[in-house]
Amino acid sequence: MLQVIGLTSAEEELYRCLVQLTRARVEELAERLHRSHVDILNHLDALRAKGLVQPVGPEPDAPLRPLAPDVPLGGVLLRQQEALETARASVTQLAEEYRAAMRRHDAEHLVEVITGARMLRERLRDLQNAARDEVLWFCRANPLAMPGQDNVEEFHALARGVRYRAIYEREMLLEPGALQDVEQGVRAGEQARVVDRLPVRLAIVDARTAVCPLVPDRGSGEPSAAVIGRSQLLDALLALFESQWRIATPLRASAPSNNPEEPAAEGYRPDAEEVRLLSLFVAGVPDKSIASQLGVSRRTVQRRLADLMDVAGVDTRPGLAFQVARRGWI
């Protein structure tokens, strides 16, 4: 079992026996394991070298006792994990270099078609793991391969300093738990916005690779997607994202940001719960759905919006939306 971290089966058997006995002499170990005296001595030398066994006293025939395995073996395990992570990153980089080289020499490789939810999910994960600068998302309702709660790669990338900008369809925010997933990403550093409807599903990594789902495969019914390399087609998709980003409504999860480019509030500052309410309101989410997302009644949503209208000095909802944007409340 422990061969993967450098302990042979014979050494492991001897060490486990010594752990059970807590201390023992060579003769007792040989008798219990039905192994020769020389064999026991040889493997004890190996265990001593690995920091797993030591004698109880200075005498040559002193009993032996086991040492805790977590420090010596844990260090080996950590080094192997680091080596595997380095190898994984190298394979990912090598795969990207391969695809880039193929695209340079063969126009057919500018667009690669992949089929199946599992393959699509793995490609999205690999691209995010290799991301260095920025990841862009068009997030439509009813995800094909990777629901938001499964995308742990985003949080790893955000922790590395990768920028995330995501645009969500309004319908997606109505799905159970969707708002909580979006808020978790925003708290981790994601910039999120909402539009009424997105034209396509899309992911773009570092402005060099895009993944755009296509029609389901005719034979299997599985989703298919185009993986698009550097080309005018990719430039067009980048322009499409930026055009949607400009018209989308920002979605906040907590207090408004301290970005100096945003307009300053005039006196009143909404609390975190009001920011969530206003974000959904400005995004056009119906009162009933806002109430469901916030865990309150529809009447409570209407009352809170009325209170905010009083604070803003307006008597209509469009007026409140205008004041929210002008005062920088979200």
Tell whether the model's pLDDT for residue 260 goes beyond 60: no
The CATH number of domain 272-327 is 3.90.930: no
In the predicted model, is pLDDT for residue 223 greater than 90? Answer: no
The stretch 225-253 carries a mean pLDDT of 87
DSSP state of 3: G
Domains 3-67 and 272-327 share a fold: yes
Q: Is the pLDDT of residue 237 over 90?
A: yes
> Does residue 154 register a pLDDT over 60?
yes
Look up the CATH architecture of domain 109-251: 2-Layer Sandwich (3.30)
**pLDDT at position 240:** 94
- 33: which residues sit within 8 A by CB, 6+ positions away? 13, 14, 17, 40
More confident residue, 312 or 103: 312
Which two structure tokens, joined as six digits, stand for 282?
Answer: 């400005």
CA–CA dist 250, 63 (Å, integer): 70
Distance from C-alpha of 55 to C-alpha of 67, rounded to nearest angstrom? 10
Q: First and final CA of the chain: distance in angstroms?
A: 55
Helix spans in the chain (H): 9-21, 26-33, 37-49, 70-105, 117-130, 152-159, 170-173, 178-188, 232-247, 272-282, 287-294, 298-312, 317-327
* Report for 31-45, 115-129, 313-327: range of highest mean pLDDT: 115-129
The structural domains of the chain, with segments of one domain joined by +, span: 3-67, 68-105, 109-251, 272-327
Closest CA to 321 of 271, 329, 257: 329
- Domain 3-67 in CATH 1.10.490.10? The answer is no
How many CB atoms are closer than 10 A to CB 272? 12
Model confidence at 74, in pLDDT bands (50, 70, 90)?
low
pLDDT band at 64 (very low <50, low <70, confident <90, very high): confident
C-alpha distance from residue 267 to each of 43, 251, 312, 329 (Å): 76, 22, 10, 11
Quickly list DSSP for 194-261. EES--SS-EEEETTTEEEEE-SPPTTT---EEEEE-SSHHHHHHHHHHHHHHHHSEEE-SSSPP--TT
186 vs 71, higher pLDDT: 186
CB 173 within 8 A of CB 266: no
pLDDT at 206: 95
**What pLDDT, on the 0 to 100 scale, is given for residue 91?**
79
- The more confidently predicted of residues 77 and 32 is 32
Which amino acid belongs to residue 288? K
Per-residue pLDDT tens over the stretch 159-210: 999 999 999 988 887 777 777 788 888 888 999 998 888 989 999 999 999 9
Q: b/e per residue, 156-177, with b = 16+ CB within 10 A?
A: ebbeeebebbbbbbbbbbbbee
